[in-house]
Structure 1
Amino acid sequence: MKTKPLRVGRITIGGKRPVFILGPCVIESEKFVWRM
């Protein structure tokens, strides 16, 4: 799958780095997110 980065203002989303879209009820800690 080919991905293209998306720029939102000064921020670039996607590309080579993973993007997580999660609600606050799912995120327990930064460690938990990276473990997924």
Structure 2
Amino acid sequence: MTGTAKATVFIDNERVIVTEYRFQPGDNTGWHRHGHDY
């Protein structure tokens, strides 16, 4: 299943990644895996 949410990366450096996700009604990110140690 793939989501249709729109992602915008604002900051991506060695310390932090800041991403905004915009969703329409019923949208989702889909199945995904977090690749960072949150």
TM-score by length of 2: 0.23
TM-score, scaled relative to structure 1 = 0.24
Q: Which has the higher helix share?
A: 1
Q: Name the structure, 1 or 2, with higher relative contact order (CA <8 Å, separation 6+).
A: 2
More strand as a share of residues: 2
